Amino acid sequence: MHFKVSKEDQTNHRYSGVLCHPTSFPSPYGIGDLGQGAYDFIDFLAAAGQHLWQILPLCPTTWGDSPYQGFSVFAGQPLLISPDILKKQNLLSEEDLEEIPDFNPDKVEYGEVKTYKKGLFQTAWKNFHHTADKNLLEEYQAFCDSNEYWLNDYALFMAGKDYHKGLNWYEWDTSLRDPDPLEKEEWTEKLKDEVDYYKFLQFLFFDQWFDLKEYANNKGIAIIGDIPIFTCLDSADVWANRRLFRLDSKGFPLEMAGVPPDYFSATGQLWGNPLYDWDVHAADGYSWWIERIRNQLDQVDYLRIDHFRGFEAYWAVPAGEETAVNGEWKKGPGEDLFLAIEKELGEGLPIFAEDLGIITPEVERLRDMFAFPGMKVLQFGFEGEGESTFLPHQLDTRNCVCYTGTHDNDTSCGWYANTNEQNRDKVRRYMNTDASSISWDFIRTCLGTIARYAIFPVQDLLKLGSEARMNIPGTPTGNWAFRFREGQLNQGIADGLRQMTHLFGRWG
């Protein structure tokens, strides 16, 4: 089911909502999941008069547990599978869930969670072999058939990683590192149980996700998804489609993705992702990108593309560099890519453009050519003296998304506590506040802008400080762990947010 909004509503109405990744939901299993905590969150949004829920990428994560570094741009994160729902499906028993480790309720401890949930999933897989639920078996087969175009490669890739003790794909046996079609068939048969297991996990994830999405849509809530422009080197996407990337004969990147020095880092950010060979993409009509966007828009209602400016020009860092300083800008596919996507998927793509950082007139023209809303982050507007395009009175279009902050920013309370007194004074005078409830002052200001969409992280609703920050860009560990507790998003918060939302004419 898709959340439908008419063009008239998109033009005339104003929307607001909350940024919260499912890993942050309350759950007894060490990490937020797609179970009761997710449904409670949607109920909260509805009670609070919100119509948007923004998430981070849903992919299975690799190093650093970052959702922007995934083993596949098509697959879902198995750690989000709810054990409680598996119990309802008789894939787990009451006894299987009796001994739950003493997980930290405020932080995701990814190592412990992975170990625990792997045991549950393997038990569910064994029970699936003996299930009498014919509907479940038929749904699993239908899922495998309809997702064959990405699922087969992903499942074989993950099984191959297990077989090779977690090594990167370019370190595997040659016959699986560079397989021809016959060798792929042989490896798939050799690792059949492992391959089918990874297909099973994907079936479980998407079965739960689409039920949750339908529930949200029925409550009048649209989901804003998120994808990184680039893919992880050690991923099924690169392994199965090497010709689409700038790699040498051994599978190593000739150049790496990143951004030059900016607000977040004095040495830039060296992401290490391989760059696309855009000539190859163009030669086959951008088919891989079309399938990627189609796949994502099946899962969500709107799609935010991280690092949108990379489609106009991207920062290419030579292989071997330790920082992103010594790179150069190279031209991206520009409008040709989105024209190809529109030709297949229709005009008026529900895409949000992450257009932060070094933005040129060329990037703005590309964004505006397709009427993609850009991003305005309030925190940026209050840093330094004078004017800023991020200040509410400087917003030059309604077609944008105003954020108090994003997953890469400090929380509003944390930012205010840690910034200098000049910036704090600017906030107090601009918002006419004593700063006693500063994150809600930011939310109120965000709601009151002309921006069609207003989004604020759940941490700002809860008035949390820097300890609740989701990510510190440029730091490889210790991120993506924030969780909130059951009951924190209470009726009082819902009532206050609903009143404020209606005061500023946000749709509802």
Mention every residue, 6+ apart, whose C-beta is less than 8 A from residue 391: 381, 382, 430
β-strands 313-318, 328-331 pairing: antiparallel
**Residue 75 domain-assigned?**
yes
**Residue 1 domain-assigned?**
no
Mean pLDDT of 319-326: 93
Q: Which of the residues are catalytic? A: 306, 354, 408
**Contact assessment for residue 275 and residue 269, using Cβ atoms and an 8 Å cutoff:** no
Q: What is the pLDDT of residue 508?
A: 54
**Residue 24 domain-assigned?**
yes
| For residue 2, pLDDT beyond 50 | no
**Residue 71 domain-assigned?**
yes
Mean pLDDT of 450-457: 98
Measure the CA–CA gap between 492 and 446, rounded to whole angstroms: 20
Whole-structure pTM value = 0.96
**Residue 188 domain-assigned?**
yes
Per DSSP, what are the bridge partners of residue 300? none
Measured N-to-C along each axis, helices 36-47 and 491-503 cross at an angle, to the nearest 10 degrees, of: 40
Measure the CA–CA gap between 457 and 471, rounded to whole angstroms: 12
**Residue 175 domain-assigned?**
yes
Could you tell me which of 304, 334, 499, 497 has the C-alpha nearest to residue 400? Answer: 304
For residue range 26-45, list pLDDT tens digits in order.
Answer: 999 999 999 999 999 999 99
State both tokens at 250. Answer: 């051994």
**Residue 280 domain-assigned?**
yes
State both tokens at 248. Answer: 């040498």
* Distinct helix (H) and strand (E) counts, the chain: 20, 12
Q: What is the CATH number of the domain that holds 193?
A: 3.20.20.80
For residue range 222-234, list pLDDT tens digits in order.
Answer: 999 999 999 999 9
Where residue 13 falls among pLDDT bands split at 50, 70, 90? confident
Mean pLDDT of 481-495: 98
Measure the CA–CA gap between 124 and 200, rounded to whole angstroms: 10
Mention every residue, 6+ apart, whose C-beta is less than 8 A from residue 284: none
Measured N-to-C along each axis, helices 192-218 and 148-163 cross at an angle, to the nearest 10 degrees, of: 130
Where residue 271 falls among pLDDT bands split at 50, 70, 90? confident
Where residue 244 falls among pLDDT bands split at 50, 70, 90? very high
> Distance from CA of residue 448 to its chain's centroid?
26
* Residue found by looking up tokens 């709107």 in the block: 302
**Residue 318 domain-assigned?**
yes
- How many domains, in total, are found in the chain? 1
Mention every residue, 6+ apart, whose C-beta is less than 8 A from residue 175: 183, 186, 187
Show the domain range for 82: 7-503
Mean pLDDT of 314-332: 95
